[in-house]
Amino acid sequence: MKGLHLELQLPLWFEATSIVVLILIVIADLILAYKRPHIPSTRESSLWVGFYVTLALIFAVLMFFFAGADHAGQFIAGWLTEYSLSIDNLFVFVIIMARFSVPRKYQQEVLMVGIIIALVLRAIFIILGAQLIEHFSWIFYIFGAFLLYTAIRQAFEKSDDMEEKEGGLIRFLRKRVPITDEFDGSKLRTVIDGKKVLTPMIVVFLAIGSTDLIFALDSIPAIFGITQSAFIVFTANVFALMGLRQLYFLLGDLIDKLVYLKYGIAFILAFIGVKLVAHALHENELPFINGGKHIEWAPDISTLTSLLVIVVSMAVAVAASLIKMRVDKRRETVDS
């Protein structure tokens, strides 16, 4: 396959070592969250987020030396795309935490479980996606159309829709299994009056898991629009999800106030959707489109262009949100 497909010339030992090290870091982070349930300070969260971002940049430098600038650029663009989608995921996590009144002390554990579920689901979709791309070039039409649909949904869906879905999930579970209203630490089951019942934590995990499934369906086609290397796709996803738990506490209430962030993410998804459709046209093998011949005039969007679009979109969305926050504050001051 031509176009987006580039053979990754990386030593096998580098790929194997990278995957093992990343898995060990995730396991260590999981153990840390489980052993020390607490509310991290702003300084602690900042240090951890900075640490994981630095790790990703170091990995990009290693990619540059071992595989060249193009593959390093693919990793950076993929990592930033997945990172932006992961931040979007935090918006939904905030809704879920508030909906179920999860004690802040145990939110670290909930977030870590959510991250593990996300990693497993994305690994599955990466394997499936890589196989589909390898054998069916027309799958890019479907990926592109799906991302365009997701972009529209992202731009116009309200958070109230998510709250209604979660309310339906609660009602469904409460009708079928005994669930107490009180948390018992991070336990999934507890004993009340000699009877074993589930705690709200099980509902929270189910809600987080279903959310992760939706975001995995969105994110994997998005990054395959940037690179077709399963190794880059996987590592970009791991680096994007690492530090997400600390970022949740670092941003705090600011997450809710970044009102234009979803539009920046929607624009990125739409751009990658267009890129995928253009690539599908360039590689076209469907007989009912141009007689099954490649459409040479279809644009071939470079990795550098994708990287610039992603960075500028997120920067504009965040800047616009911060400006709106300042304007709203001034209005409140004048009104009071």
Instruction: Convert the pLDDT of each residue in 155-210 to its tens digit.
Output: 777 655 555 555 566 666 667 777 776 777 667 777 777 777 777 777 788 778 77
Q: How far apart are the first and last CA of the chain?
A: 63
Residue 128 pLDDT: 84
More confident call, 190 vs 55: 55
Portion of the chain with pLDDT greater than 70, in percent? 83
- Percent of the residues in the chain that have a pLDDT greater than 90, as a whole number: 5
- The single-letter code of the amino acid at 155 is A
3-state secondary structure 206-254: HHHHHHHHHHHHHHHHHHHCCCCCHHHHHHHHHHHHCCHHHHHHHHCCH
Q: pLDDT higher for 131 or 255?
A: 131
Contacts of 46 (CB under 8 A, 6+ apart): 250
What's the pLDDT tens digit per position in 60-81? 999 898 888 888 888 999 898 8
pLDDT of amino acid 297: 65
Please give the backbone phi and psi of residue 142, each rounded to the nearest 5 degrees, phi first: -70, -45
Closest by CA position to 305, among listed 74, 144, 54, 133: 74
Query: How much is the average pLDDT of 331-336?
Result: 74
Residue 135 has pLDDT above 90, yes or no: no
Instruction: Identify how many contiguous H helices and E strands the chain contains and give both numbers.
Output: 12, 2
Higher per-residue pLDDT: 136 or 294: 136
What is the reported pLDDT for 55?
92
Residue 227 gets the label, from left (phi > 0), alpha (psi -120 to 50) or beta, of: beta
Query: Chain-wide mean pLDDT for the chain?
Result: 78
The answer to whether the CB of 227 falls within 8 A of the CB of 4 is yes
Please answer whether residues 37 and 106 qualify as being in contact, where contact means their C-beta atoms are separated by less than 8 angstroms. Answer: yes
CA distance 193 to 135: 58
Residue 249 structure tokens: 């506490």
pLDDT digits (tens, 9 = 90+) for 251-264: 765 666 777 888 88
